[in-house]
Each structure stands twice: as C-alpha cells, then as structure tokens.
Chains A and B, each alone.
Chain A
Amino acid sequence: MASLGELERAVMDLLWAGQEAATANTLRDLLAQSTNPQDGSTGHAGKDLAVTTVLTVLSRLERKGLVERERGTRPHRYQAVSSRADHTAELMHEVLGSAPDREAVLARFIGSVTDTEAETLRKLLGRS
C-alpha cells in the first residue's frame, strides 16, 4: 500500500496532467490503471484502493490549498488550484525573492548578485 504522501503526489500528477476537474471515482480508476507494465505489479495503489482513501487524500490536499472542489456538483469534482509550473514559480520566488526574512527560512548557496558582481564573475570564468 502506498503512503499518503505518495498518493498525494500521484493525485496531483493526475490533476496537473488532466485538463478538467475529476471526481474521486475517476481518480481512483486512473490510479488503479497505472500498473507497471514491466513486472505487472500494481502502481501507486493498485485495485484495492478505496474511493474513501482517495477522498482522504483530496481533503488533505484541499487543506493545503493545492486542490479545490467545484461547488454545486455531486459527486464533487476536484481540480488543481494552480498548475505545476505556477507552484514551481512560487517556490523559486521564495528562494530568489528578496523578502527580508528569506535568509532565515532557507539558506541559499549564492545570495542575490548585483550586476557588476555578476559581470566580474563572468570575467573570472572567461579568463584562461
């Protein structure tokens, strides 16, 4: 049985890949289909995966603000709040941004570099 973390990842991958919102049932079927062709073993969760498990995963993702539910439809249809690229950009914004407490949140190998510094470093690299 896959861990919740792995399932969250698999569900997000499906939602990011799909164009429209999906129900928990659809997602369960998609997850069950993703069997590994090499050794025949089941992929993320296999056919035993219960819809309730998928719903648990979806509600966890919803709490994290990554997934939203469409209002008014039954069964509920879920979709990703933003694309994979947007989330990556969000991470990079946090890493490269100039928020004053950024240094305390994470430690970068290289801090922001001024234009003149970058120029000097480029010259250093070009020097042979």
Chain B
Amino acid sequence: MFWTSYFLAVLAIVLAWPVPILLSRAQWPARSPFTAMLLWQAIALAGGLSMIGAMLVYGLEPVGDNLVSGLRALAGMVFNNAPTTDLGFWHIFALSAAALLTAHLVFTLLLTYYKIQRQRRRHRELLDLLASPSADGPGTVVLNVDSPVAYCLPGGARSVTVLSDGLMSALEPDELRAVLIHENAHLSQRHHLLLWAFAAWRQALPWLPTTRLAQESVNSLIEMLADDVALKTESKATLIRAIAIVASGSPAAPDPRLAFGESGLPDVEAGQPGATGGTGSSGTTASRVSRLLSPRPPLPEALRAAVLAACALLLAVPTALLLVPGLLG
C-alpha cells in the first residue's frame, strides 16, 4: 500500500496548487456557474481527503496491509498498550499530523460557524430595533440609510432581506424586484452554507493557494447563480441597471433610464472574468456585469457531463484507494 500514499500525496499537491489556479483563470465557469460550483466543492473535499489519507496510509504502512487493518492495529497499540516498535519516527510523525489536521479542520469549521452565528444574531438584534418592515413582503425590512444598500442575512425561518431608503428611492419598481429576487435566490439556494464551508476552509489553511482561490471563485459564482434566477423574470437591462446604480453608490447624474434600451445592449469591452486581478469581491462585480453585457452560450451538455464525471472521480478515487483494499482483504 506504499504507492497509495504517494499517489494520494501527489493528488493532494495537484489539488492544492495547479488545479485551483487553472480553474480560477478558466473562462467556462461563468457559462455554467452551477457545474463550476460543484467542481470547487469536489476539489476541496478531495484535497482534504487525500491530504489526510496520504499521511494516514504512510504512517500505518508498517502495521497493516491496508487502512482498515492498519487502523485496527493502531487501535490495539493505543488501547492495549501493545508495543509500538513497528512504527518509526516518521510514521508516528505522519499519524500525528493526520490527527492534528483532522482536528484542526473540524475545529475551525465549528469555530467559524459559531462566530458567524454570533455576528448574525447581533446584527439581527440591531435590525429588530432600527429597521422597519417593508411593503415588499414578510422577511424584508427597510433601514434608514441614504446610500443604496441591499443584502440578506440568512437564519433559517428568521432570514431577512434588508433594503436601504437610499436604494428604494434610487431604483424603479422592476429594478427593485430584480434585487429582491437576487437576494431571495441566495437564501433559497442556501448559499450561506457554501460560504460558511469555504470561509472555514480558508481560515483553516490560509497559506494554501486553493483555499483563497476557492473562496473567491465561490463568492462570485453564487452571485452569478442569483443573477440567473433574477433573469428568469426580469430583463437583462433591468438587472444591469440595478447593479450599476447600486454599485456607483448613488443614482448617476445623467438620466439612467435612457442608458439601456431593451434591445441593443452596448457592446462594452468585455472585461473577462478575473481580468481585473480577480481578487476578492471587487473582481466579482466586473465579471458579473461583463457576463450580463456579453453573454456567452451555456456550456454544452457533453462538457458539463464531463465536468460532473470529473467531480465524481475526484471524490471516488481517494475514497476507493483508502477503503477498497481493506474491504476486499
């Protein structure tokens, strides 16, 4: 089972560095954000699994032919005080590292959850006192702030979408509807769970290229997914106007109503996704707008299927390598 640990180590390195860099520079995720989102999740899960798996398999190599018998032998040593002379220094080192990394990942996940929940609770308490209910339905409140702001605060049944006075006065009813649909899409597609997982992943291993790139990509992919939901009922021009008005801080001086006709959207120099450096949420707005201005056809069925198959393989291969030998033996 020696080659298994090497294979897993190589997989972990590939998934931690070159693959995320390539994927974050690729153009196709904007054409099929949902597929890209699944791929990022598969990369993160498979990366973590192969990292921990490689160390476990290497460390258990002297005491078992496979992971299952190795773990059984290890449990015997720990609980029955059996001699550990079979394990060399590096084996024990690898096993400790695997245990520490697992604990670190789980702990960071829980800690991030706790922190997020605490911040949301505080935010909701203040909203209860400061915001007034809106006419746009339950779960929508208005905050007395002049700048145009819209956001949603997830929280199960207590989820709330917050609009500012400035936003209400800057947007026409159809633009406001586009904003509300966009925000509700975040809530109904449970994007906060994805953001939580990837925020924790980055918090746990901030020095790993994959965690930063994954979080940034996921941030912009969920915006695209929510935009797509809004486009089902509202026109593209409406959504672009809403984005532009909110992003430019205040209603622009020239009459924005004349900016776009329903036909003939201006063919603006398409800042490609990530062309602005793609760091943080700042690149997100540019890639969102350029995606709306110069739309490209969704990914062909065959390519989407290929990516989905790659996701399945990414998860299946490390799992099979770790478990199958033990189950067969």
Contact = CB atoms under 8 A, between A and B. Distances in A.
B2 to A, nearest CB: 40
Interface residues of B, number: 65
A118 to B, nearest CB: 5
A127 B129 contact: no
Interface in A89-128: 90-92, 94-96, 98, 100-101, 103-114, 116-118, 120-122, 124-128
B151 A128 contact: no
Most chain A C-beta atoms within 10 Å of own C-beta, residue among B115, B130, B147, B258:
B130
Interface string A64-77: 10100000000000
Contacts of A66: 125, 129
B130 A112 contact: no
A120 B269 CA distance: 10
A87 interface: yes
A69 B174 CA distance: 47
Contacts, number: 151
Q: Is the interface of B mostly helix, strand, loop or mixed?
A: helix
Contact of B219 (A8, A103, A105, A109): A103
Nearest to B193: A104
A66 to B, nearest CB: 7
Interface stretch (B14-22, B41-49, B116-124, B319-327): B116-124
Contacts of B151: 95, 106-109
Contact of B254 (A98, A112, A117, A125): A125
Given A5-B128, A117-B285, A128-B255, 16 more contacts: A9-B128, A12-B129, A66-B129, A87-B130, A92-B147, A101-B203, A103-B199, A104-B112, A105-B120, A106-B120, A106-B151, A107-B192, A120-B286, A121-B247, A126-B253, A128-B258
For the complex of A and B, the 10 pairs showing the least CB-CB separation, nearest first, are A111-B281, A125-B252, A109-B150, A128-B258, A104-B199, A104-B195, A126-B254, A108-B151, A121-B244, A107-B186
